[in-house]
Amino acid sequence: MKQVDAAVVQRELTRLITDCLIIPDKAVTKALTEIRTDSEIERTAAAIIVENNIIAERERLYCCQDTGQALFFVKLGDEVVCQGLTDAINGAVHDAYKTARKSVADPLTRKNTDDNTPAIIEYTLTRGDALEITFLAKGAGSENMSRLYMLTPADGEQGIIDSVVDAVKKGGKNACPPLIVGVGIGGVTETACSLSKRALLRPVGQNSERADVAALEKETLKRVNALGIGVAALGGNLTALAVNIETAPTHIGMLPVAVNLQCHSLRHGSVKF
């Protein structure tokens, strides 16, 4: 069995979280730098976002004031032992968010937890001696605009596309576009919702390895950008940078579709032990 020191995990995760909150996804910045649009307003808005990201990285400042809620996707090998792993993850959140906005509160009393804990952690058991932890900061502006659609199998691909377009049309301007649109299809309700968040972790510009899913991603992105919401909701053809779809087998009588909108401040990263 491979022993992983929880103190090392906490230290490395603290570094990862801090870096992610400062430096947004570089593929997003690159895409905004290379924007093609006939709208001068849209080009200007994209340039401002790029400038913000450059300044944040250079000056070690948070790229967005909403430093989000901390989500973790943990792949834990069956030959790994890490005593106190959950405590180490929460400890890293406590340490990394000391100077960041405290955004986590009880849902009823609204009393703040004061350190952004507890983290939201999804564990996946795998074979082998690897431990991989992926962090995603999820701000409320985009998360509030996410939706779950319980379609019927008869709705098919057109129903999926229409659902994603509907979600972006209703919430896109409030989710800080340009967006990365994560879509989870299949499983049950919680499966689809989890998949939609995991879809955000795929690099911008990288389509699914499944040809049929990749085709669906491209067509949906085309439909989303035809809405004309544009960068910063100022109008234009770049409402979304990507539509990423992840799937799972589902019941023959169901077609769950979760749409998770992510603002341009896409902040995520992984560390392996």
Question: Domains, the chain, ranges and CATH?
Answer: 2-20+64-138 (3.30.2320), 141-265 (3.30.1330)
What's the confidence (pLDDT) of residue 90?
Answer: 98
Segment 247-271 shows an average pLDDT of 97
CA distance 80 to 123: 13
Burial state string for 157-191 with b = 16 or more CB within 10 A and e = fewer than 16: eebbbbbbbebbeebbbebbbbbbbbbbbbbeeeb
pLDDT band at 232; cut points 50, 70, 90: very high
Asked if the peptide bond before residue 178 counts as cis, ω within 30 degrees of 0, the response is yes
Average pLDDT over residues 240-246: 98
| CB-based contact 244:200 (threshold 8 Å) | yes
The rounded percent of the chain whose pLDDT value lies above 90 is 98
Quote the DSSP letter at residue 252. Answer: T
pLDDT for 94: 98
Torsion, Cα of 264, 176, 100, 74 (10° steps): -50
Which pLDDT belongs to residue 38?
85
Model confidence at 23: pLDDT above 90 = yes
Per-residue confidence (pLDDT) for residue 64, from 0 to 100:
95
Structural element, H or E, at residue 75: strand 69-77
Residue 200 contacts residue 241 (beta carbons within 8 Å): no
pLDDT digits (tens, 9 = 90+) for 78-137: 999 999 999 999 999 999 999 999 999 999 999 999 999 999 999 999 999 999 999 999
pLDDT of residue 126: 97
- Print burial letters for 99-128: b (CB count within 10 Å at least 16), e (below 16): ebeebbeeeeeeeeeebbbebebeeeeeee
